[in-house]
Structure 1
Amino acid sequence: MSKVNSDVRRAETPAQLGTAPGFVIRKLYQSYSAMWSRVIGPQLTGPQFAVLDVLDAYDGSDQASVGHAAALDASTMVDVARRLERRSLIVRTRSPIDARRKVVQITSLGESELFRVRERRVQLEQRLFAHNPRRKDEILAELNDLSERWAELAAELAAAED
Structure 2
Amino acid sequence: MKSPAPEPVPHVFAETPGHLIRLLYQRHNAVWHDTVGDSITPTQFAILNTVYAAGPLTQHEISVRIRTDTSTMAQSASVLERKNLVRRTVNPADKRERRIALTRNGRREYAELLLKADEVQRILFSALHPDGHAAALAVLRDLAGVHADPEEGQV
TM > 0.5 between the two?
Answer: yes
List gaps (5 residues or longer) in structure 2.
1-9, 147-155
Match of 2:117 among 116, 121, 124: 121
Report which structure shows greater RCO (CA 8 Å, sep ≥6): 2
Q: Give the CA RMSD over aligned residues.
A: 1.8
Is 1:148 the counterpart of 2:145? The answer is yes
Identity, in percent, stands at 32
Letter in 2 for 1:83: V
1:101 counterpart SS class: strand
TM norm structure 2? 0.81
How many residue pairs match? The answer is 137
Matching residue of 2:107:
111
Q: Please say if residues 126 and 133 of structure 1, whose CA atoms lie closer than 8 Å, have aligned partners that are also in contact.
A: no
Is 1:62 the counterpart of 2:58? The answer is yes
List gaps (5 residues or longer) in structure 1.
1-13, 150-162
Change in Cα spacing, 1:130 to 1:16, as seen in structure 2 (3 Å) is closer
Q: Please say if residues 92 and 103 of structure 1, whose CA atoms lie closer than 8 Å, have aligned partners that are also in contact.
A: yes
Deviations 1:121-153 (A, max 9, x none): 22222222223222112111221122226xxxx
Is 1:92 the counterpart of 2:122? The answer is no
Match of 1:137 among 134, 141, 144: 134
Deviations 1:71-125 (A, max 9, x none): 2111100110010000010011111111011111111111111111111122222
Measure, in 1, the Cα distance between the counterparts of 2:60 and 2:95.
13
Shift in Å, 1:18: 4.2
Shift in Å, 1:22: 2.0
Shift in Å, 1:64: 0.8
Shift in Å, 1:17: 4.2
Letter in 2 for 1:77: M
Measure, in 1, the Cα distance between the counterparts of 2:80 and 2:121.
24
Matching residue of 1:157:
none
